Structure formats: structure tokens, C-alpha cells
């Protein structure tokens, strides 16, 4: 019984830090599709670039902070009192800044891959 309790504790507490950085599958797919659309379409080259960028952002931000930063980004331009809640939110602004920085770092780290095509030689020498 004691071994089971210890094993369970190690399993739960040993995996908790990695669980904080787990993103839902829906968000993973949404990011990849939006990123590939921005780069020009669903190609293998764009998928490679976008998955690299996504992994880079995941290394910096836990999902909850990522989601809060995206919410601030999406709603900060909302007019009126509803938008004021987001515009006056210091934590949201801070997380948005971290998100923008993570995106910039990801863009620098992950090159946009272009497919290389073989050019036929013009002379037979």
C-alpha cells in the first residue's frame, strides 16, 4: 500500500510541471492552420515553419498565460465599457507583451522554408 501511494505521488507530482505547458489539441490545430494561411497556404514547408514557431511559443508561455494574452489582444480594441475592462487590465497587457515577444523570438528562430526546384542545365558541357 505504501509503495502504491509513493508511486502515485511521484507520478502526479513528477508530471505537474509539464502539464502546465500542455496546450489543448484544438488550440494546436487552430494555431497551425492560421499560421499556414498567413504564410500562403497548407504546404509541408509552411507546416514545418509553423510547428517550429508553435513549439517555440509553448516553451515560453504556459497555456493559461497564452490564452490570457490572446484574449487581451483580441478584446483590447473593443469600444466602450466592455473594452475598458481589457484596456485597463495590467496583467493582460503584461501577458500580451510576453506573447508578442515570444512570437518575435519564434519568427527569428524558425525560418520560412522554401521548396528548392532543380534547374535543368542550359548547355551540355
- Does residue 94 fall inside a structural domain? yes
- Does residue 73 fall inside a structural domain? yes
- Number of domains the chain is built from: 1
- Does residue 7 fall inside a structural domain? no
Each residue's pLDDT tens digit, 75-124:
888 888 777 777 778 888 899 999 999 999 999 999 876 665 667 777 76
- Which residues, other chains included, contact 95 with Cβ-Cβ below 8 Å and sequence gap of 6+? 61, 65, 68, 69, 72
Query: What is the C-alpha separation between 25 and 32, in angstroms, rounded?
Result: 11
Biggest CA–CA distance in the chain, Å, is 80
Each residue's pLDDT tens digit, 8-22:
444 444 444 445 568
Task: Give the domain extent around 47.
Answer: 24-109
pLDDT over 50 (residue 26): yes
Q: How far is residue 110 CA from its own chain's centroid?
A: 12
- Does residue 81 fall inside a structural domain? yes
- Does residue 68 fall inside a structural domain? yes
DSSP 3-state of 1: coil
- Does residue 11 fall inside a structural domain? no
- Does residue 35 fall inside a structural domain? yes
- Does residue 17 fall inside a structural domain? no
Amino acid at each position: 500500500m505504501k509503495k502504491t501511494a509513493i508511486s502515485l505521488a511521484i507520478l502526479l507530482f513528477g508530471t505537474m510541471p509539464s502539464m502546465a505547458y500542455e496546450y489543448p489539441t484544438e488550440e494546436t490545430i487552430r494555431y497551425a492552420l492560421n499560421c499556414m494561411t498567413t504564410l500562403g497556404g497548407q504546404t509541408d514547408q509552411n507546416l514545418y515553419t509553423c510547428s517550429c514557431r508553435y513549439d517555440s511559443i509553448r516553451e515560453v508561455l504556459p497555456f493559461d498565460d497564452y490564452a490570457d494574452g490572446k484574449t487581451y489582444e483580441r478584446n483590447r480594441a473593443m469600444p466602450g465599457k466592455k473594452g475598458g475592462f481589457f484596456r485597463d487590465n495590467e496583467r493582460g497587457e503584461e501577458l500580451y507583451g510576453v506573447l508578442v515577444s515570444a512570437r518575435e523570438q519564434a519568427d527569428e528562430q524558425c525560418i520560412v522554408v522554401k521548396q528548392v526546384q532543380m534547374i535543368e542545365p542550359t548547355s551540355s558541357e
